[in-house]
Structure 1
């Protein structure tokens, strides 16, 4: 694993949600090996958004809002299902924001400090299967959950098809209070932003690890709007409308600023140079802004394979392991991140 000197950096112009938006039912095109055809289809899509921005700004803003707040759906792998089958499963409740909603919580291990795992946008608890094994081997108890409108949990306030980083954060807090004292939080992708919000709300944790986390939701949404061809005025309309039901401004979701606003635990930021969904600069911006945070850079793992890399998992365990916890066996030679 190669360490990189971290410093504040411009927030990524590449939104983690862009791929999801471009695959939405009324904006997608079949995959084609012909690059010319693909570019033509994307250009046609962009023209549709541009025309909608001029002719139907309100409807276009609603469509952009629907896309932005709709997480993707994917089938769980056999390894993920196997991990969930071996867990003790129960429910935590998200309360205080309308009717109570259930969050599915999974637990592994019976002794050691509790590590809470927070999945990303469109993810689920089973995606952590490799990390779960590594943390159990390191002498820790592991807790994971499905955020509202994800996995086996209840739908969020806007229905099963939509949710937000704010609901993901509330799901995280519900799982944390339900599972008891949490020693550390390990988060992937948008789960990192949800973790930052939870820390602002007082989540007690002695350590945090953020993997491929985005830095600024407002900048990411603006980048998506530019990609699609949405006019700035339409983007502003969409953001103002969503702020009303979110109950807070989009500026509240800036992860570097959250670390400046209040004390945060010792944090390890791991980001891959080849991450095509959340640029490495986002991780550098977070690590540069959070006091005492450390940035470590990997290459060749992208946005998702980083969750299954043995050297990354060992580094996570080393960072969050209390001095009294037993040490796990070293990673075999040849598995180190380069």
Structure 2
């Protein structure tokens, strides 16, 4: 969830509190940024001591608020070329619409799951690569992202649980899904969907976080928030999430549920989700394979031709076994 935090996204995006800390970590020579980060930390510390209830509510807002980023021209072109329709998330209050995009007319269906603050168009390079490999591609905007409806807590907030429900809605709407390719927090959403019974013959997790509870604890420490306030925030959110934070542990899904053959790709220089998170997932999921890139970071990895080729090779039907033993592209290392 951000540069100094061990996991993904609910942090890298959030609010001014998080942004100040993250910017300070990114700019080693920025005395102004360091001063702002220090001041922000003092404010969080004072609030935690004097008004713990308000501090817990503020941390909850920060954690569950995705960022807003404008789509690039390449992303817009990809979406303009798609067939777009809607899937419905039902069973948790009023039905909500999830925007679904489709490319290709033949071949196995590959579902793409974006990360925190992302949207379907960010996959444009991967879409092109999978189409060239003879696959049909489906992507979606999760609730409170892109063109989809707002989630249960409004357009400004959502959760990995709602992202997982959006993924399941898109999967059921698109028909039988052969494979899921997920980025960042989309990897945790995919793990939850697999736990709920999503049928898939293969999965690829790119830059995925391992443990939401540990990541939130890291953010709290970074902001100067004490354990009591953090525990209060997590108890509050568990009431509307409907499940404990311990449920959002990706390695545990592979330890307790059947999972498909999985390729975990993670960059050593990822400043938003530590490489160790990917290693933990690959180590816990039976038969999973970890492949490491260098120099691509958290987002450029989705545009790298070698990575895209590796994804296509791994999820190609009846080729999963061959893909595991295939020669590695130059930018990838197998761990």
CA distance in 1, matches of 2:274, 2:18: 26
Deviation, 1:21, is: 3.6
Answer yes or no: is 1:23 the counterpart of 2:16: yes
1:216 paired residue among 211, 214, 223: 211
Q: Conserved in 2, the CA contact under 8 Å of 1:310 and 1:335? A: no
Aligned residue runs from structure 1 range 269-284, under 5 A: 269-284=264-279
Counterpart of 2:303 in structure 1 is 308
Q: 1:202 to 1:33 in 2, by over 3 A?
A: closer
Higher helix proportion: 2
Runs of 4+ in 1 over 4 A off after TM superposition: 24-34, 334-338
TM-score normalised according to structure 1 size: 0.90
CA distance in 2, matches of 1:295, 1:98: 39
CA distance in 2, matches of 1:26, 1:337: 31
CA distance in 2, matches of 1:94, 1:105: 12
CA distance in 2, matches of 1:188, 1:146: 13
Query: 1:3-48, CA deviations, whole angstroms, 9 ceiling, x for partnerless residues?
Result: xxxxxxxxx9523233324635996899889522221211111010
**Unaligned stretches of 5+ in structure 1?**
1-11, 326-333
2:70 paired residue among 67, 70, 75: 75
Aligned residue runs from structure 1 range 42-57, under 5 A: 42-57=37-52
SS in 1 for 2:65: coil
Q: Conserved in 1, the CA contact under 8 Å of 2:302 and 2:308? A: yes
Aligned residue runs from structure 1 range 181-330, under 5 A: 181-323=176-318
Query: 1:233-283, CA deviations, whole angstroms, 9 ceiling, x for partnerless residues?
Result: 000000000000000000000000011111000000000000000000000
Q: Conserved in 1, the CA contact under 8 Å of 2:294 and 2:331? A: no
CA distance in 2, matches of 1:61, 1:222: 13
Counterpart of 2:92 in structure 1 is 97
- Considering only aligned residues, what root-mean-square deviation do their CA atoms show, in Å? 2.1
CA distance in 2, matches of 1:26, 1:290: 33
**Which shows bigger deviation, 102-111 or 22-31?**
22-31
Counterpart of 1:144 in structure 2 is 139
SS in 1 for 2:13: helix
Q: 1:167 to 1:199 in 2, by over 3 A?
A: same
Deviation, 1:323, is: 3.5
1:156 paired residue among 144, 151, 155: 151
- May I ask how many residue pairs the two structures share in their alignment? 319
SS in 1 for 2:290: strand
Counterpart of 1:6 in structure 2 is none
CA distance in 1, matches of 2:225, 2:128: 44
Q: Conserved in 2, the CA contact under 8 Å of 1:23 and 1:29? A: no
2:60 paired residue among 58, 65, 75: 65
Q: 1:246 to 1:37 in 2, by over 3 A?
A: same
SS in 2 for 1:142: strand
1:175 paired residue among 153, 170, 173: 170
CA distance in 2, matches of 1:178, 1:22: 33
Query: 1:99-150, CA deviations, whole angstroms, 9 ceiling, x for partnerless residues?
Result: 0000000000000000000000000000000000000000000000000000
Q: 1:25 to 1:318 in 2, by over 3 A?
A: closer
SS in 2 for 1:145: strand
